[in-house]
Amino acid sequence: MEVEAELKSKFSNIFIMLLLAIQNNDIDNVKHYLSDELYEKYNDRCNKLKDKNEMQLYDEANVKNIEIVKEYEEDDYDICEVVINSRYMDYIIDLNTGNKVSGVDDHRLEIKHNLIFKKKKVLLKETLLSVLGVALT
């Protein structure tokens, strides 16, 4: 597993990228970070907003802190369970009028997210051999 500070920084960046992808209605930008199930969930959400000509906004978004709850290995994966405490204004606007449809746009909410990050292990030996063009047997 990577150093804790590096992991927290990566998790924070991925989380903010997800919020921005939803806001920009372009979930494909973060598809490689999401399970198929989560991709479908957020893609459907974006499509519903687009169909209603609405936009999800996350203003003043930041990650307050991240707690790594559990790290473990499973099969060929490193898995990290985290709690992300974030703050942002969370609301939907009508793109025709610019009016708020729902949500909070006058103060930041503090929201706790329980997430599981999963990364396929890459063995150093296999990586080096592949870079050198040596066939793996």
What pLDDT does 131 receive?
Answer: 53
Q: Give the tens place of pLDDT for each residue, 49-95.
A: 999 999 999 999 999 999 999 998 888 888 889 999 999 999 999 99
- Give the pLDDT mean for 4-11: 89
Inter-residue contact 14 to 29 (CB < 8 Å): no
Inter-residue contact 65 to 15 (CB < 8 Å): no
This prediction has a pTM of 0.81
Tell the CATH topology of 4-132. Answer: Nuclear Transport Factor 2; Chain: A, (3.10.450)
Strands in the chain per DSSP E: 54-74, 77-94, 100-120
Q: Give the tens place of pLDDT for each residue, 26-52.
A: 999 888 888 888 899 999 999 999 999
Domain map (residue ranges) of the chain: 4-132
Inter-residue contact 12 to 84 (CB < 8 Å): yes
